[in-house]
Amino acid sequence: MTDNLSLPAWQGRIDAGEGASALRWHQWVQPFADRQAPGTALVGLACDEGVSRNQGRTGARLGPPVLRKALANLAWRGERPVYDSGDVVCEGTDLEGAQWAYAQRVALLLEQGHLPLGVGGGHEIAYASFLGLAQHLRGLEEQPRIGILNFDAHFDLRHAEQSSSGTPFRQIAEYCEQAGMAFDYCCLGVSELNNTQALFEQAQRLNVRYRLDRQMQPWNIAAIEAFVDEFLAGIDHLYMTICLDVLPASQAPGVSAPSAHGVDLMVIEHLVRRAKASGKLRMADVAELNPALDQDLRTAKIGARLLASLVD
């Protein structure tokens, strides 16, 4: 179920003549080991069984190593440690087993004081990320107030017999109901034409807060900021997940379901940074990179930039 850490992913340019302030990610990231100083910890879910079950274009299981490669050569400006804890790999069609193993890895990282950053993989990573976070927090609080901030063209609230990339937030809603926890879900960038009326009705029943892609324009940024700030004010712990298909297809072609409209990277990154600045972020992930469908590594580079924006 689990791969060992592959350090060759962390290779790149070295500007030795420019001194210690010319570091890049590949020179800073360390392999994860138990009981290290708290920092940021990458954890991959190499899986697209959920995409397959959701009748999407497969290939996202190859996303984690490509995202690492895109991160490797970025300039490093942080101070806290960054660790790579490797990938949980979906064996065959055992999506549920992979999600459980990934959730246990996330819970371990949180218990040791790290900020886990999930690297997908299909958006089935969201249910696994939440499971790990909830497991950790429920060991500390009876009913933790966890808010889910999802940047996505889709609600991912589908009803299905099996877990898939289209079901994670419905599964989280069911988990919260069983655990006696509030289901606080905010979805930004929803495509009105790519979610059925049934999904909008489901979102209404579950009191989902959302904004459509056409509402998330730079000229409307103050209203969007206020909307996000209000959501964040009502929670104690934030789980943030970024589905790369929220971006326009011209910016992010390497996804299962490219967006005809989408939300510009400038807006997404601004809101990601704003949410992180709340001090409530406990877990985040980036999902749906499909390297086989990418062009000039455009989507991978955006995914890497968004991951980097979450690191101090």
Predicted confidence at residue 7, as pLDDT, reads: 57
- Residue 169 inside a domain? The answer is yes
Query: From start to end of 129-200, where are the E strands?
Result: 146-151, 184-190
pLDDT tens digit at each of 312 positions of the chain: 444 445 568 999 999 888 778 999 999 999 999 999 999 999 999 999 999 999 999 999 999 999 999 999 999 998 999 999 999 999 999 999 999 999 999 999 999 999 999 999 999 999 999 999 999 999 999 899 999 999 999 999 999 888 999 999 999 999 999 999 999 999 999 999 999 999 999 999 999 999 999 999 999 999 999 999 999 999 999 999 999 999 999 999 999 999 999 999 999 999 999 999 999 999 999 999 999 999 999 999 999 999 999 997
- What are the structure tokens assigned to 154, written together? 């889709």
Predicted confidence at residue 4, as pLDDT, reads: 41
Number of domains composing the chain: 1
- Residue 2 inside a domain? The answer is no
- Residue 1 inside a domain? The answer is no
- Residue 56 inside a domain? The answer is yes
Predicted confidence at residue 46, as pLDDT, reads: 96
What is the rounded CA–CA span in Å between residue 300 and residue 293?
Answer: 11
Phi/psi of residue 163, nearest 5 degrees: -60, 140
CATH of the domain at 78: 3.40.800.10
What is the rounded CA–CA span in Å between residue 282 and residue 211?
Answer: 23
The pTM of this model reads: 0.96
Burial code of 167-179, b = ≥16 C-beta within 10 A, e = fewer?
bbbbbbbeebeee
Domain range spanning residue 298? 7-308
